Each structure stands twice: as C-alpha cells, then as structure tokens.
Amino acid sequence: QSQELSHVRIDYHAALLALQEQGTRMVCTGKMHTDRICRFDYLCYCTEAEEFIFFHSNASVMLPNLGPRRFQPALLDLSSVEDHNTQYFNFLELPAAALKYMPKPVFVPDVTLILNRFNADNLMHIFHDDLLPIFYTMQQYTDLDDEARLVFMEGWGEGSHFDLYRLLSSKQPLLKEHLRNFGKLMCFTKSYVGLTKMTTWYQYGFVQPQGPKANILVSGNEIRQFASFIMDRLNITTEERPEGDDYIVLFSRTSNRLILNEAELILALAQEYKMRTVTVSLEEQTFASIVQLISAASMLVSMHGAQLITSMFLPRGAAVIELFPYAVNPEQYTPYKTLASLPGMDLQYISWRNTIEENSVAYPDRPWDQGGIAHLEKEEQERILASKEVPRHLCCRNPEWLFRIYQDTIVDIPAFLEVLREGVKVKPNLKKSKPASVVHPGRVRQPKCQTSVQAAHEAKLSVSWQIPWNLKYLKVREVKYEVWIQEQGENTYMPYILPQQNYTFSENIKPFTTYLVWVRCIFNKNLLGPFADVLICKT
C-alpha cells in the first residue's frame, strides 16, 4: 500500500522556516460551528497526542477568533452530520517557539481535505454523509482538485466500499491510523477542515425522530451531476438501448431483511409490465456493474435499506419501489423517498408495506444489533410482539425498530401489484423524459397603480406592470401574475391570480384609503418570481 506523500519534492528547509516564522494561519467561513469550513496554512497534527496543533507566531491568523467559545461546543463539525458530539473538530495551541523542542515535522505538500466519515460500512451513509459532501466541498474550493489528498480522521478502517472514496481524487486517501507512519508531527502545508452540509437531505433522528432535513438546499440537478461524475470514474457508459428493451431491477439483500418469495415477485413484475426483471445484490455483483444496470432501468424494486441510495443512478422518469417489513410505517423512514422527490430528480416513488403478520418472519433470538429482543425484559418483549406499528423513536438502538426492520417478508403479490397499479401512473417508460424547466421569473417591471373615487363608498384601483425581463428569452408554457392587495394597517391581504398585465379592482376597494400592492410573476403554476417593490396606492 503506497502511502508516500508526494512525488513532488518540497524544500524541507524552506517549509520548516515558514512554519517557525509564520506559524499557523486559519481563515474560516460560517458563523456557527455547524456551518463552518476552515482553511489552514501549516495546520499540524501530533500523532502521539492525536491532536491537531495551531502554532502561534507574530504572523498567525485565527479567524474567527472565538477565544474560549472555540470549545462551546467546538470549532466545527468534522462530518456532514449536524452538531454530532462525537464529530467535533478543535486544535491545541502552542507557540511556534515550541517547535525547537518537538520532533522534526513531516510536511504534507498536497492540498488536503480533512474530515470524518460518518459510517463507512453503510452505503447510504457513504453517499449521503461523505461522498456527496466531499465532492461539493471540493467544488467549492478550487485548489481541492483531482490532486487533493483526503484525510479521514474518524479513526475507522477502510470500511466496506473504500474504492468509492478513491474515485474522488487521484491520491490515495489517508486514514487516521496511517498518519503515525509519517512520524510524530505532521504539518499540512495547505488544508481545509470540515464538509459542506448543503447536499444532505436527511437527518437520522439524534434529537428528533428521523426525517427529511428542515431546510433542504440540494436539487436533483446536483445529485445527478455527482452521479454522472461517479459513473464516469467507474468507466460506466450509458449506451442507447433498442426501443422496447426496458427492464426492472430487483435489488435484493442476501443476509437479512429478505424477500422470501423473490422468484414469485420477479415473475409478477415481469408479467405485469411485460419487461424482463433482473436481480442484483451487493454480495453478488460489483458496485460498478450494479450502477451500470440501474442507470438504464425503468424501475428499481427493493426492501428498505442502504442499497436504495443507488436510486440516484436511475434515469429520469424511472420508478423507485421501496418495500417495508410488517409494523414499519413507510412515512417515518423516508431517506429514499426524500431523495426521489427532490425537485428535478424526476423519479416516481412508491412504498409498499407488509400488513399481514403471518407473512413476516422475525428473529427475536439474534443479537440486539440485528433485531434480537431476547435480552429485554419478558414484558417488554411481549409488548413489542403485540405491537402493530413501531412508535416514533430516536436513533439508533431502539430495539422495537431493529426487531421489526430486520424481519424477512413474504410479499403478498396481489396487494403489491395493487399498490403499483395505483402509484405508477404511466407505464414507467418515460426514461427519455426531459428535465423540467427550473428558470424562475424575474421581477415584473414598472409596476404602477392608478386610483379613482366613484362615490362615497365606491373606488377603483388599477394596477399594471411589464413582463419580467427574462421572459422575452424564454419559452414558457404558462405565464401568470399574482397580485396581493393589503389595506394599510391590516394584517391580512387579498391575493389574486391574473393572466394579463393589468387589472382594475373595484370590489372591496374603499375611497380615501391607502393600499399596499405587491405583484409577482409565476411560470408554469409553481415557479414563483420575486415581488416587485411594494406600490403604495391611495384612493
């Protein structure tokens, strides 16, 4: 295993002098530890103490300079999971003069991205928590290019899909355990610490039950661009397939959470959709060959589980069918539903749950982490066995959840097909469907109002405006305008949707009154533009 740091020789003496004289310099983005990424010159790491070190000199910079708030609770999150207390980053401080008494530093010449992987043995976590955030953090800082060095500080071994991390840069990623091989003191010439959280869409339930993140900032476009990058690096090409060669992929798990009548399910799918149905599993195919298959499939069918993250490789218009074991409510566990439903992801999503207890095989005697409940009090075991649905719970060791989610299932074929017939609206061969337009309207221009008083109780308010500037360059199916009229001092307003660029309001318009009027443009029913500056109209 090659762990040499670079083929480029660096001038050791010059680097040492720079460290001694300049010390460490840090400039960060973000107001809070949860949205912070820091860039360092000469951040060091002591492998004996397992601590990062900031060397102070007259030329040091530390921005933000938080004082002791740096420990409340930390400088930043080292993984993409928000505010997790096992994932905090901080450093120790020393005067640069202390270098005289310390082991000779080894310099890392590569531009380095330092982070924690969250769970490198689970494919969903690998993609959602690590690969996507690493990819887009690297897009944010241009010197984190294909030659960048990734350093994983969570302290685990390679994990089950280390090859996927290798796709992100041409240099071998380093694990915490590798760092000792370089010596007692390592100094990263240029490094970034932390990950963007903008691409994550799911929170795992550490403080409230799991669910979609409150403020999702990623769209299908970014997910698909990342997916193409990964396919590119895996040497997967999507060749045109002949018309009518549509197929369904059944992603099966082979060690637990099984579908017990897979053969029957495959037959039913093939008959219903007149398509061939292929089975894949992580145990039997390479990851690349699975992605290759999924990337041209019309439908992906699978039990709930991390393997469903591969739905990001489906073509637009394809359908994701997620199966849930008995007593598990699909609405409470939606990482894959949320992914499929991101704007611009253009996937159909349908869940099916087993509602027939006899079609379920549970494993109460397995170890707790595979859903065993034998270690629980008798009463608690009985309560779980009698329960028809897992109540809402926090991550990660809820025994009732684990017991239910690790059941095997006989899929009731008629019930399953019924759900598909209701859910998959069109026969899923819209694979060539075009990405929907995502261009938003600009502000309407030159908004104006005119008023007139007709009688003691009658007045008119005419509002007109020009089309948004970008509209003349666009082909938009439907252009509408929304007008809000609010009587000054009131806290409610009347909304109107109009197809034209002017309108005279007379209903509910009073003489000698001041109205505030807002106007905005809407494309294709749901692409909202900004409001123009408020009009103040006196009747």
Q: Footprint of ligand UDP on this chain (CB under 6 A)?
A: 122-124, 253-256, 282, 305-307
Type and span of the H or E element at 139: helix 132-140
**Strand segments (E) across 79-217:** 88-89, 91-95, 106-115, 149-152, 174-175, 185-193, 202-203, 211-212
DSSP structure string for 272-316: HHT-EEEEE-TTTS-HHHHHHHHTT-SEEEEESSGGGGGGGGSPT
For residue 363, give Cα distances in angstroms to 242, 383, 403, 404, 407: 45, 16, 7, 9, 7
- From the centroid of its chain, how far is CA 400? 27
3-class DSSP assignment, residue 137: helix
Structural contact between residues 202 and 211, judged by C-beta atoms closer than 8 angstroms: yes
Residue 419 C-beta: closest distance to ligand UDP, Å: 21
Residue 386: Cβ-neighbour burial (10 angstroms; 0-12, 13-18, 19+)? exposed
Tokens of 344: 């611009």
Q: Which residues pair with 194 in a beta bridge?
A: none
Element (H, E) at 48: none
**Max alpha carbon distance in the chain (Å)?**
92
Q: Cα angle vertex 484, ends 480, 490, to 5°?
A: 170
SS3 190: strand
Closest separation in Å from C-beta 303 to ligand UDP? 8
At 186, list the tokens.
């390592």
> Would you call 17 helix, strand, or coil by DSSP?
helix
